Amino acid sequence: MKRRAVAFAPEARTDLLRLGDWIAERAGADVASNYIERLEAYCAGFEIAGERGQRRDDIRPGLRVVGFERRVTIAFTVSAAEVTILRLYYGGRNWAGISPG
């Protein structure tokens, strides 16, 4: 299998921070930290077999989406050398109506 670097776009980093803050306010800092760590580890796993998820060329050419723990939709692209995490949409957000970057 081909290995690719995994990078987070600035918007995805912002999404991670906002999600962590949102969870911390509702469930505490430890719960938020554990959840964000699991999410980041899942994204890091795109290093191998990055071409997973559903293609969504109807939204943006090359866009792929995949779910994480039934709560987060991860929008990303795959090039020959890199998987770029574009956005992380939590919960019931209408991600199809939001620009993936």
Q: Domains of the chain (ranges plus CATH)? A: 5-92 (3.30.2310.20)
Q: How far is CA 67 from the centre of its chain?
A: 8
How would you classify the pairing of strands 82-90 and 72-78?
Answer: antiparallel
State pTM to two decimals.
Answer: 0.86
Per-residue model confidence (pLDDT) at position 97:
54
3 state SS of 97? helix
CA distance 43 to 72: 11
Q: What beta strand segments (E) does 1-101 contain? A: 5-8, 54-55, 64-68, 72-78, 82-90
User: pLDDT for 15-71, tens place per residue?
Assistant: 999 999 989 999 999 999 999 999 999 999 999 988 889 999 999 999 999 999 989
CA separation for the pair 36, 33 (Å, rounded): 5
Edge-to-edge order in the sheet of strand 54-55: 5-8, 82-90, 72-78, 64-68, 54-55
